[in-house]
Amino acid sequence: MSVRVRRTALLFMSALLGWTIALGPPNANAATNRAFGGIAGINNGTFDGGDGTGEAAITLDSVKLALVKQARDASGNVLADGADVTPGQQIWFVLYIDNVTNFPAAGIRISDVLDESEFTYVPDSLESATAVSGANDATIWSRAWSSLTDAVGAPDDIASITDTGGPPDKDRLTIGEVPGQMNDPVTISANTLLAVRFRVTVD
Instruction: Give the type of residue at 19.
Output: W
Contact yes or no for 101/93 (Cβ under 8 A): no
pLDDT of residue 74: 96
pLDDT of residue 49: 54
pLDDT of residue 47: 60
Q: How far apart are CA 162 and CA 173, in angstroms?
A: 7
- Ordered mean pLDDT values, 10 residues apiece, the chain (203 residues): 41 40 44 68 58 66 84 95 92 95 91 93 97 97 97 89 92 94 94 97 94
pLDDT of residue 33: 75
Continuous H helices in the chain = 7-11, 137-142
| DSSP characters over 94-151 | EEEEEE-SSS-B---EEEEE--TTTEEE-TT--EEEEEETT--HHHHHHSPPEE--SS
pLDDT of residue 48: 57
Domain boundaries, the chain: 3-24+65-202, 31-60
CATH class belonging to 3-24+65-202? mainly beta
∠ Cα 59 63 189 (to 5°): 110
pLDDT of residue 66: 85
Q: How far apart are CA 11 and CA 6, in angstroms?
A: 9
Please report the sign of the dihedral spanned by the C-alpha atoms of residue 97, residue 101, residue 104, residue 108: negative
